Amino acid sequence: MSKFVSIEDIENSKNKTVNCKVEEKIDGINALSPIYADLTLKSLGDFIEVSGNVKGIVKLECDLCLKEFEYNLDFKIDELYAKKALIEDEIEPGQEIEIKEGQFVTDLNGSDKIDIYDLLYQSVILNLPNKKVCGINCNGEDKFLTEEKISDPRMDVFKNINVKYK
């Protein structure tokens, strides 16, 4: 599958809608298998709407105990792309403007295609949990600071520290 979908292809298709299925390994995402996406791209006049579902399994590191664990991705995508700039050139640099409903979209900046690969990368990153925890019972308990786990030679200096309190 091409990593790009042409706006011209969308405009010339039946109902101005293109369906695409993507199964892709994405650089920067530690996925156990390719990320799968079933997407619909539809022309809405000045906008292109991309909607669909994304699934996959990624490997994450627990924030508490530092063990790796599998995380199931299953989320919906609903993005808007503007074919032309929404903010006119009349606005001076530094001038404040009000963003109205429908203006929170990605500007294609004159591009004639949509980068599906980039859309999937950003969507996966934004849908990862803020706090990555391997399980409900994980409490961390300094498991990653035990002597057996310290293998970095730069940390050897800390093994012989004696602290005396007055």
pLDDT digits (tens, 9 = 90+) for 78-114: 888 887 765 555 555 565 655 555 445 676 767 788 8
**What is d(CA 83, CA 113) in angstroms, rounded to the nearest whole number?**
10
Residue 56 and residue 31 in contact, taking contact as beta carbons nearer than 8 Å: yes
Q: Does residue 15 sit in helix, strand or coil?
A: helix
Residue predicted with more confidence, 125 or 108: 125
Dist CA 117 CA 69 (whole Å): 25
**69 contacts 79 by C-beta, under 8 angstroms:** no
Q: Which of 19-28, 116-125, 146-155 has the lowest mean pLDDT?
A: 146-155
The answer to pTM > 0.85 is no
Q: What is the mean pLDDT of residues 22-27?
A: 90
- The more confidently predicted of residues 137 and 104 is 137
pLDDT at 129 exceeding the cut of 70: yes
Q: What is the pLDDT, as a whole number, of residue 130?
A: 92
Q: Is it the case that residue 144 has pLDDT exceeding 50? A: no
Q: Round to whole Å and give the CA distance between 39 and 2.
A: 13
